[in-house]
Structure 1
Amino acid sequence: LCSKMPEREDDHLTPATRLLEKRREMAEVEQALAAQKEAREASSCEFQMKMESLQQRREELERKEFQLKESLLKFDKFLKENDSKKARAIKKATDEKDLQKSKDKEIDRLREDTSHLVKNRAKIQAKLEKHIMFHKYLEKVLEGAEEFHEIREIIARYDTLTATHDDLMESEIGNQEKVEKQRGDLMKYTEEKNNDILSYNNQLGGLQTRLDKAQSRAVKWESKWMHIKNTAAKKTLLLGRVKMATHNLFQLVNRHQKTRRDDVDIEDTTEQLIRVRRLLPLTLHVFVLFF
């Protein structure tokens, strides 16, 4: 799971410790450079050589510092990769553990199913031993029956008859239920119609009472109507006589006055009376003069 560690110069020191050590050496070099700078007046050539040596040492230290930084980066990358691989390994182990649990549960379920199957097999075997005598009986029946050639034909016929019997029983039960329902509907209908008849009888009694009252009122109104008709006939006869007398009087007055009569309608009794009233005094005066 772990990759190869990066190469290091000192296995007993950590990269951070080595970096601090190198920085300390660089500080010492800087101090030495400062001291050498103060003493450069002593020997210019020697100072130059030392400066070059120190410069080379400084460059070497910088190179080593860069290498240490690279080593630190590689080490950090190594740690991250190692953590990632570790996490994947843990996840894989967890998944395998969960899968194992699932398999164990499946095994337990299969064992339980197997146990049930064994028990059912024992029950079926017991039933088979219990019903073996029926098989022997059917074999004897088959030997004496010409209609059947195999036991399954007898069983098929039995199943057919049983199904037919069940259908007939179910149909009979259905018919009984229908009869009961129709009987109940008939009783309900009869009760409703009896109630309707009672209600109609009550209504008929009320209507008969109203009819008797109406007939009684009709007799009274018939008597009144006959009286009105008789009265109207008398008044009509009287009116006819009045109109005839008025017309005769109107003709008599017009004949003596020698006026036109066609300007008054023969049926306009009112106008005739007005003319007679206006002309009658004059007619009476003439009648007195001549008679």
Structure 2
Amino acid sequence: MSLNVDDYFRTVYEQRLRAKVSLPDLKTGDTRKLDKLEEVKDVERVLTAQREDFRRRTESLRRRRKELDEKEEQLKESLFKFNKFLKENDAKRGRALKKASEEKDLARQKQAEVELLEQEVLVLQKRRETMRVKVQRKAVYRDFLHRVTKSSTKFGEIWELVARFDTLLATREQLLGRESEGRQLGEALRQQHRRFVDEQSDRILRYNNQLSELQTRLEQVRSLALKWEATWNHIQSISARETLLLGQIKVTTLNLFHMMGGQTDDENGVGIGDTLGQLDRIELFVQDQTGILHHLQGRDSKSDPNVNPNAK
């Protein structure tokens, strides 16, 4: 059964007042006091070791948090540089592709024009030979053309009429050739556009995968940082509770010291912040009061023969 300290002190003081006896000086020996002081020193050494271990852990956590912050900043800077590099690379590649496409188009156009001119030359040569044969075979028509030119006001000579006809025919052939060239060029451009779209789609997919991996790494780093932050908050909470408990112990010790009549404001008193000194005084006071109680109980046992001296 636990003993109420206030009731105990009150009972002892009431017995002292009723007995009206002079209390002898019953202090403990120096050996017991030295043992208690040694125990207090052991407790202080343990507390000092615990405080040093706590300080080392706190410093390690602080350094770890600083390293995580630096790594996160480096990762952000690397991601920014990588995005900038991708944009610049895409711009350069776009300009290069555009220039190459323009040069290819120009080369194809020139080649097509050369081939067209060569074809026109061959056609004209064949046509000239054909026309010569036809002229020889159909001289009757020449005579007819002579008569036509003589009767016409627009064409004075036969060659003018023939040249006009050839010009119109060549223009028709040229237009047909350009139409065919336009269809070929359009088909080539459509194929090139499809290839370009496919390449860009594959590249965007690769970049999205890389971005997803970097985001996953960033989330892992953030999760680890949150974990260490929670650990730091838990350590701070434990430290605050221990500090509060130490304060409560100091206040309780000071109250007990004042209850037993201790003084903190004179030369013979104990300092208000000296908790160990107050505990020593309280221990001596309890020992003194215990000795007084035993002494009084012994006197009562001797005065009353019916009381068992071994009874508590």
Question: Whose radius of gyration is greater, 1 or 2?
Answer: 1
Q: Into which bin does the TM-score normalised by the smaller protein fall?
A: 0.3 to 0.5
RCO comparison, higher one (Cα < 8 Å, 6+): 2
TM-score (norm: length of structure 2):
0.32
> Please, what TM-score do these two structures have when normalized by structure 1?
0.33
